[in-house]
Amino acid sequence: MKNKELFQRAKELMPGGVSSPVRAFKAVGGEPIIVSRAKGSRLWDVEGKEYIDYLMSWGPLILGHAHPRVVAAIEEQAKRGLSYGLTNQYEIELAQLVVSSMPSVEMVRFVSSGTEATMSAIRLARGYTGRKYVVKFEGCYHGHGDSLLVMAGSGVATLGIPGTPGVPEEIAKLTLVVPYNNVEALEEVFNKYGEDIACVIVEPVAGNMGVVLPKPGFLEAIRDITKRYGSLVICDEVITNFRLSKGGAQELFGRDPDITCMGKIIGGGMPLGAYGGRREIMEKVAPEGPIYQAGTLSGNPLSMVAGIATLRELFELNPYDRLEALTIKLISGIRDILSHKGIPHRINHIASMFTVFFTDKEVYDYATAKTSDTDLFGRFFRALLREGILIPPSQFEAWFLSTAHTEEDIALTLEKIDRAVRSL
């Protein structure tokens, strides 16, 4: 069947025809593609059209689609059972890999998604400190939990307002929002509410307003201020864990958060999230302590073996330098193409993730990210899709490379992007 026919059917059965909103392509226009299969760096829709994929399932697939080692592990485990509802040996093995890799994590609890990880981490921080307020940064996305779906108001530091119907104002008011990379605003909100602030949750590298890097001293200031007031730091590494380095962003930047949230790569393409941290904090989680969190499918053996296979392959390959070099090659080519066409742009990147912002301003927070020309991005996205290049269907997301991408893929991608940009 055609993409369009299937999507029309999907819209009759699922809200917007999707299981997650951005897949509907409303931010970029045009009809969504319906995926049939994927392998390596390539993805095919139901009409048989092939795409070089830089979406990579929004980041988890650092080894590419259907990596043989990961597929073999899942196939073998499926024969032994899909779910047990009891602890399995692979939870222990994956926990050991995580604890030995992430510098600040002494104990870990597995859940089924990044959202579950951040929701649980917030509850743990509140329970551990006995405080109610949470500080987050404007433009950082930490999943769709009520406490975290909050937008910033005006001024340098405001009480949050609900970012969606369904979040009561009373809950939203417990979240304090300040601009990313703004230490003065953070100081101001702590001066006012510090004794009641349970935690600051931060993406060490923002990935959901597009890639935005921390300014020098920003992450250090968060640690210093929270220590001064007895609050915790939650490092949301759902995107960056095992993406930027073996030990994630905290290893790269030399940070020591109290709690770390993980997801995406840790599951190797299967649904999996985790949160972990210092032993004294994690021992407050039930059944060891009084702070309750549970999940029927937590520690699912299929997700565990996919995560183990992915991390072991990553640690053996140590592909980070090669991935960054390939990413820089792609970015340099895109920059040349856009500059030649006279299109204002900024490209923010770290390791194997980057965003092309259609703005002439430096992008260092949500306000500057929002200066991007989203109409132009939509045209750019659709032109690339016609050429067989798949990127995130949103200006405010990251592109990802994988070990499956080759020099030849980059060369072909740049040819196609050049053609696409000339057609704008």
Q: Which of 128, 264, 275, 416 is catalytic?
A: 264
**Strand order, beta sheet including 35-39:** 35-39, 42-45, 50-53, 389-390
Q: How far is CA 116 from the centre of its chain?
A: 13
> Are the C-beta atoms of residues 231 and 198 closer than 8 Å to each other?
yes
Match 């992450």 to its residue by tokens. 219
Residue 35: alpha-carbon gap to chain centroid = 21
Secondary structure class of 119 (helix, strand, coil): helix
Q: Select which of 146, 236, 409, 418 is catalytic.
A: 236
Distance CA(298)–CA(97), nearest Å, equals 17
- Are 227 and 262 in contact, with CB atoms under 8 Å apart? no
CA 115 to each of CA 89, 151, 294, 317: distance values in angstroms, whole numbers, following the listed order: 25, 17, 14, 29
Burial class of 50 by CB neighbour count within 10 A (0 to 12, 13 to 18, 19+): exposed
Structure tokens at 222: 């968060």
Two structure tokens written together for 150: 């909050």
* DSSP secondary structure letters along 305-340: HHHHHHHHHHHHH--HHHHHHHHHHHHHHHHHHHHH
Rg over alpha carbons for the chain, rounded to the nearest Å, is 21
**How is residue 218 written in tokens?**
């920003």
d(CA 55, CA 368): 23
Can you say whether the dihedral through the CA atoms of 409, 412, 417, 420 is positive or negative? negative
**Residue 132 annotated to the active site:** no
Residues constituting the chain: 424
CA count, 13 A, side-chain hemisphere, 367? 11
Asked if 236 is an active-site residue, the reply is yes
Pairwise CA distance, residues 23 & 84, whole Å: 32
Structure tokens belonging to residue 265: 């790569």
Contact 291, 280 (CB under 8 A): no
**Cα–Cα distance for residue pair 366/383, rounded to 1 Å:** 26
Which residues are CB-contacts of 56 (< 8 A; sequence separation ≥ 6)?
62, 64, 65, 400, 401, 402
Here the tokens at position 153 are 């108001």
Collapsing DSSP to helix, strand or coil, 121 comes out as: helix
Residue 418 known to be catalytic: no
- Determine which one of 128, 141, 180, 366 is catalytic: 141
Catalytic residues: 141, 236, 264
